[in-house]
Structure 1
Amino acid sequence: MIHETSISTDLPAEARRRLTSEPVMVVDLAAIRRNFQALARMAQGSCAAIVKGDAYGHGMVESARTLLAAGAELFFTARFEDALVLRNTLGQGPRIAALDGVTEDGMKEAVAQDIIPVVNSREQLQTASDAAIRQGAPLAAFVHLDTAMNRLGLAPDDDDLALPLLKNLDVQAYMTHFASADDVDLDLCRLQAERLRDRASRFPEAPLSIANSCGVFLGQEFHGHIIRPGKSTFGINPLADAANPLHEPATVLAPVVQIRTLCKGDPVGYSCTWHAPETRRVAILAIGYANGYLRGNSNLGHVAFGDRIAPVVGRVSMDLTAVDISALPESTVHVGSMAEIVGKTINYRSLANTVGTNEHEAIIALGRGCYRTYVGGDAVA
């Protein structure tokens, strides 16, 4: 990955040009490949590639191409529209499914593009069954059985209605989603797995898909036949209280666009929420909440220059953030230096904990707000 505090000559020319005036996210595709292959080796069955949320902020299209090369044969997006983009990107080889399902209006296109719906409700089940009848053959579908989340998925009360309709489907798997695997709530995870197995036993036989990222690390009793590790494929730590066993692919760099010397009492930023306690050197970075650097970092966040930390001072504004570089040697930071927002020194969890969110939100925000470039695409795992 890229961790230099000056513009790297290893980056594409457009990324280097942008880094003179705006932040850039550098995504290491080799890290994504290694993560997926490590997770696949843990599975007792197969491992699906989950690329929802624009691949957790790392870029769906490039990430999916990498995952296909890494051996992924089944992909899940959140939205049907993303599944269509993925089909156009990856061609007709892999299976592609839409986790949120497909509406009646979209079913004809889903069939034509070989997008597999995930059935989450009575209405979606009826739509899928009707499509199967129209085509005169079973329709491939995943069937989501809700076992605790009370979000998407067929409820237990739907089972009697579901049974005759499921006979029209080629069920790829019965799936559920853990509510508290992140919290290592083994009792609830076991209860959900038992509920899934019990309900699925009443339906036409098909594989089971249970474990998300955290569930994978709870052990194979929670896996089912298809694991669905989303965040861990993209380096988000699946372990609550342990070092990350995976590689974090993204580094975000922001250039220093000005350095100011402040006198004691001088304020910084909107509403003057920080005042220099004595003479201070402050670097102004070309990153703000428009780039996904959350406003909650105001007076709380940190950036890094190499392995040296510099605290955020004042409020994060739309396009600019101030950091106190007084503790760093003057020769180490200048206009054009690169501040690490996340990377080798500041990991995903540290970035997220500062603002009281999870790594998903923090990285997705940066991925949406920053120009994104890629390295490691040709690396061998």
Structure 2
Amino acid sequence: MSNPYMSIDPQLFTHRAGAEVHIDLSAITQNYLYLQSKVAPAQCGGVVKADAYGLGMVEVAKALYKAGCRHFFVAHLDEGIALRSVLNAECTIYILHGFIPNQEALFIQNRLTPILNDIQQLKSWSQLCNHQRKNHPAAVQFDTGMSRFGIGQDELAQLSQISWDFFRPCLAMSHLACADTPDHPANQQQLTRFNTLKALIPCTTASLSASSGIFLGKDFHFDLVRPGIALYGGNPTPNAPNPMRAVVTLQGKILQTRSINTGDFIGYGATFVAPCPMKIATLSIGYADGFFRSLSPKLQARSPKYPEIPLPLLGRISMDSLCVDVTNLPENSIQSGDIIELIGKSCSINDVARTIDTISYEILTALGDRYHRIYTS
């Protein structure tokens, strides 16, 4: 039997999606330029792993490249290959997870730079360079205290076994564990260790800081910084006003409105019971779209027509829908097909994250692929 949907343009489905994510590429560009000015003369790279934190790696990377970014960071090899296919230009694409055996040829073929995270990766890459009598770019990461990635204290003695005849690391790096807490003693401890460890390899370029580390001062900047969440509007200084521009707006479409009476309940588990006659709107967005079930009933939405009027979420968020209280909106002011803003000017990704005691990274990366993404610049 033939598939009745095969002849239908798939774009029709995305343009008729139940919710939209608006991504301001100009805000990402301005955030990048602000961070670049803050760390100069060091260079500012861009972390675009996890599909640019859920916002679209291809579109974001192209915007960053136009703004002058020449150093990109992704987590996996497949991400790097995809990025190289659209940025076939003079830029460096780092693979944060390094490589596993038998992947070396793919790195060289696609001009990707692995970040070597243990002594075995370092030995293998050095042997490859020496065998081919050619320096293939790679970075070396040291573990300065986070105990996650990087050459650890127990591996340092083996550095003497590495042949540097043809291999010259292009970058020495590490990662801060507590950069978002400026007065945490781990920051200075890691800085001191990094200054010692990076001198153990023949490399003149270094990188320590991601988004929050940029705001710890010049000592933490070295030659290259690697912001991620700050580019996308997340606050890199959690206990101070956010210096970054907002990037994301999330809007759900109204499927229907209805009036309910005192005592009526809403949603699974009957967790909300109307204390009085109310009017509610059902939106086409739910936890299958990455809008967490735990956000209800803690969040307040807004109508772009009446942004001063908060619209509380009511009851439990379902897989594909949620309900908001529109009782206080003017009579007949909204209807099916209108939009309600869930993330935007009145409620940023940082506000949403605080609502459920998580971080803005998780809010962004959870955004599902059912949204219609709209890019502005």
Q: TM class, shorter-chain normalised? A: over 0.9
**TM-aligned CA distance change 1:278 to 1:301, over 3 Å:** same
Secondary structure at the aligned position of 1:181 is classed as coil
Partner residue in 2 for 1:325: 326
Greater displacement, 345-354 / 329-338: 329-338
Residue 25 of structure 1: which of 21, 24, 34 is its match?
A: 21
Secondary structure at the aligned position of 2:319 is classed as coil
Partner residue in 2 for 1:275: 273
Partner residue in 1 for 2:3: none
1-structure distance, mates of 2:288, 2:276:
31
Residue 169 of structure 1: which of 167, 170, 177 is its match?
A: 167
2:38 is the alignment partner of 1:42: yes
Q: CA deviation at 1:332?
A: 3.0
Secondary structure at the aligned position of 1:40 is classed as helix
Partner residue in 2 for 1:344: 345
Q: CA deviation at 1:92?
A: 3.4
Higher relative contact order structure (alpha carbons within 8 Å, sequence separation ≥ 6): 1
Partner residue in 2 for 1:9: none
2-structure distance, mates of 1:178, 1:369:
34
Secondary structure at the aligned position of 2:99 is classed as coil
> Structure 1 length normalisation: TM-score?
0.91
Two-structure CA RMSD over aligned residues (Å): 1.8
Q: CA deviation at 1:208?
A: 1.3
Report the residue type matching 2:225 in the other structure: I
Contact 2:130 2:167 in 1 (8 A): no
2-structure distance, mates of 1:320, 1:165:
57
Greater displacement, 45-54 / 184-193: 184-193
Deviations 1:316-362 (A, max 9, x none): 00100001111222243222221111111111111111222110111
Q: CA deviation at 1:288?
A: 0.2
Q: CA deviation at 1:186?
A: 4.2
Residue 217 of structure 1: which of 215, 222, 226 is its match?
A: 215
> What are structure 2's unaligned runs of at least 5 residues?
1-9
**TM-aligned CA distance change 1:19 to 1:263, over 3 Å:** farther
Partner residue in 2 for 1:242: 240
1-structure distance, mates of 2:163, 2:31:
35
Q: CA deviation at 1:93?
A: 1.6
Contact 1:296 1:355 in 2 (8 A): yes
Q: CA deviation at 1:120?
A: 0.4
Q: CA deviation at 1:372?
A: 1.4
Contact 1:313 1:323 in 2 (8 A): yes
Deviations 1:191-215 (A, max 9, x none): 1011011111222132110111111
Greater displacement, 117-126 / 276-285: 117-126
2-structure distance, mates of 1:103, 1:328:
57
Partner residue in 1 for 2:335: 334
Deviations 1:205-253 (A, max 9, x none): 3211011111101111111111111111111111112221111211111
Partner residue in 2 for 1:252: 250
1-structure distance, mates of 2:62, 2:225:
20
Aligned pairs for 1:177-196 within 5 A: 177-196=175-194
2-structure distance, mates of 1:142, 1:205:
9
Q: Which runs of 4+ in 1 moved over 3 A?
A: 14-21
Greater displacement, 260-269 / 161-170: 161-170
Aligned pairs for 1:118-129 within 5 A: 118-129=115-126
Residue 75 of structure 2: which of 74, 78, 93 is its match?
A: 78
Report the residue type matching 2:300 in the other structure: H
Aligned pairs for 1:133-212 within 5 A: 133-165=130-162, 167=164, 168-212=166-210
Report the residue type matching 2:344 in the other structure: G
2-structure distance, mates of 1:18, 1:261:
30
Deviations 1:92-131 (A, max 9, x none): 3211110111112211110111100000012211221222
1-structure distance, mates of 2:265, 2:163:
66
Partner residue in 1 for 2:5: none
Q: CA deviation at 1:273?
A: 0.9
Aligned pairs for 1:90-129 within 5 A: 90-129=87-126
**TM-aligned CA distance change 1:210 to 1:315, over 3 Å:** same
Deviations 1:21-64 (A, max 9, x none): 50111111111111111111111311111101211121111000
Contact 1:292 1:368 in 2 (8 A): no
Contact 1:36 1:233 in 2 (8 A): yes
Report the residue type matching 1:30 in the other structure: S
Q: Percent identity?
A: 31
2-structure distance, mates of 1:144, 1:166:
17
Q: CA deviation at 1:17?
A: 8.0
Contact 1:166 1:203 in 2 (8 A): no
> Structure 2 length normalisation: TM-score?
0.92
Secondary structure at the aligned position of 2:202 is classed as coil
Partner residue in 1 for 2:310: 309
Contact 2:283 2:323 in 1 (8 A): yes
Deviations 1:241-299 (A, max 9, x none): 22211112111111111001010110111111111111011100000011111011122
